[in-house]
Structure 1
Amino acid sequence: MKKTLLTGLIVLGLFVSAHAEDGAALYKKCAGCHGPVGEKAALGASKIIKDMSHTDFVAALNGYKDGSYGGAKKGIMKGQVTALNEAQIEALATHIVK
């Protein structure tokens, strides 16, 4: 019984690890506009994302998704973030906001 439970926990741990979001991998799509470490104002207009707080970064991405955040060029970001789920947004925030 203990062996079966232990095996199940190990398999579950491997499954969760394999499906954990990788912020660095996700950020590769962002780096072209925001710079390798989030140091650029995308299209010369955005905030410097590396200087945002974790909370503000997550709120901004969720705001782009629902249309409640952003300026004249927010449609560009909406297209980028629409397919991101909550875990992916958190992974990006953890990766870029130090």
Structure 2
Amino acid sequence: MKKITLSVAALCVAASVSFGADGAALFKSCVACHGAAADRPYLGGKVPALKSIASAERLESLKGYKAGTLNKYGQGAIMKAQTARFSEEDLAAINAYIDSL
């Protein structure tokens, strides 16, 4: 019985790693400000559309906002709050989803 329990647990972990985070679902919380296609500039054009930012730069910005070390365009506090619930895997999935748009 112990072997079966461990096997099931291992399969669950493997499944969660292989399927990963759903960037499209996670991005829904970003739509109000950045638009459904990540093409909406924000703050009267002060913040560029997410699609116009290079993928690597965008991911590093997401990580910086989450860590609280970035305050681009004065949006550090709001972005820290927005990214706080996301894991690094979630941020990568959101970034990949934006790339796919």
- TM-score, normalisation: structure 1: 0.76
Q: Calculate the aligned-residue CA RMSD, in Å.
A: 2.5
The equivalent residue for 1:60 is 61
State the aligned residue count.
Answer: 91
Deviations 1:21-55 (A, max 9, x none): 00000011101100011111223331211111221
Partner of 1:42: helix, strand, or coil? coil
Change (3 A) 1:39 1:14: same
| Pair 1:72 & 2:88 matched | no
**Distance (whole Å) between structure 2 residues aligned to residue 97 and residue 78 of structure 1:** 22
Q: Which whole-Å CA distance do the structure 2 matches of 1:47 and 1:29 have between them?
A: 18
Percentage of pairs with the same residue? 28
Normalising by structure 2, we get a TM-score of 0.74
Structure 1: stretches of 5+ with no match in the other structure: 1-6
Stretch deviating more after TM superposition (12-21 or 75-84): 12-21
Q: Which residue of 2 aligns with 1:33?
A: 33
Which residue matches 1:43? Answer: 43
